[in-house]
Structure 1
Amino acid sequence: MAALIQLAYDDSSDIMDDYLKMSARVARESLHSFCTYIIELYMKKYLRKLTFSDMQQLLEHHAEYHGLPGMKASLNCMKWEWELCPTAWQGSHTSGYHRMPAMMLEAGASQDLWIWYAFFGMPGSHNDINIVHHSPLLNDLINGVGPKGTFIVNDVEYKYGYYLVDGIYPEWAVFVKSFSREGTLDPKRIKFNKVQRGNPRS
């Protein structure tokens, strides 16, 4: 119970004294033991990198359901507010757009809610571009050890998939952005934009 309360409500270990009659030390040790057992229990299946077979299943699902062969995931970053951020760190974790200290989360999940990738903890003063240069996911791709999966478009076989992103991301081959200047686009590009942004039926 102490471990779940600390994880769910972001409570410190020293408040367990009143509610559970538990010292701060025992509450911290309970949290550590709980997390250790969760990792041991789920690591082999859920806390690992994608295999070739896993990636093929993802690519096939996105090709069949979304009509986007080669799509691995939609990639984006979100800010996670850090209410109890230490005062000394608040400057680097606060941006001009968000007054609350925050940390950045970059994650990828499949249609069955399996989180196959997560990168968490960068200061909230960063944005999507800064995160790209620190992301283990993209570093793995650059080093040739990222998740691979083949797909075919126009009779050409490709070894690596791509990520759908918004306009802030750089012009890299692994990113596919929507077309700009909506008023000048032909019907094919307009349809692609709707699919890329997640509203193909609109």
Structure 2
Amino acid sequence: MAYDSLTDSMDETHGMSEFTYLDTLAELCDIIVQLYKEEYLREPNQKDLDRLIRKAEDRGFSGMIGSLDCMHWNWKNCPTGWQRGFSGRSKKPIVVLEAVASYDTWI
């Protein structure tokens, strides 16, 4: 995963079948969500909202709880039939990740 390997090449490089690799990846994602959901992957409660609004007001942005940011990622393995629908200005397939984060990077 760290080397951006294709799932079907895992059997050659690591002796791991594509299905085992995908199952392992899904399990890893589930574990990450379980570890971090209570603190980072939950909806804000009223106390959180009050803290975020107060912090934004201190910085001159009254009523704001976070800022929107986005990142364009090249989609190297985009299916051929989808490429026109996911092409950006560079004419290459991209995926846009959008997130709202607070000043302390709480998503």
Superposition TM-score, scaled by structure 1 size: 0.48
Indicate the residue corresponding to 2:99 in structure 1: 107
Structure 1 74/113 Cα, relative in aligned 2: closer, same or farther at 3 Å? closer
Shift of 1:11: 2.7
Q: Which has the larger radius of gyration?
A: 1
Q: Distance in 2 between matches of 1:19 and 1:35?
A: 22
Identity among equivalent positions (%) equals: 38
Q: Write out the 4+ residue segments of structure 1 that deviate beyond 4 Å after TM superposition.
A: none
Greater relative contact order (CA < 8 Å, ≥ 6 in sequence): 2
- How many residues are treated as equivalent by the alignment? 107
Q: Deviations over 1:113-141 (max 9, x none)?
A: 222xxxxxxxxxxxxxxxxxxxxxxxxxx
Unaligned ranges ≥5, structure 2:
none
Question: For structure 1, which segment, 22-31 or 67-76, has the greater mean C-alpha deviation from structure 2 after superposition?
Answer: 67-76
Q: Does 1:79 align with 2:63?
A: no
1:15 to 9, 20, 31: 9
Shift of 1:77: 3.7
Shift of 1:103: 1.6
Q: Deviations over 1:47-71 (max 9, x none)?
A: 121211111111111112x222222
RMSD value, Cα: 1.8
Indicate the residue corresponding to 1:90 in structure 2: 83
Q: Deviations over 1:166-194 (max 9, x none)?
A: xxxxxxxxxxxxxxxxxxxxxxxxxxxxx
Indicate the residue corresponding to 1:69 in structure 2: 62
Q: Distance in 2 between matches of 1:75 and 1:20?
A: 39
1:53 to 40, 47, 50: 47
Residue 68 of structure 2 contacts residue 100 of structure 2 at CA under 8 Å; is this kept in 1?
A: yes
Q: Which amino acid aligns with 1:57?
A: R
Unaligned ranges ≥5, structure 1:
116-202
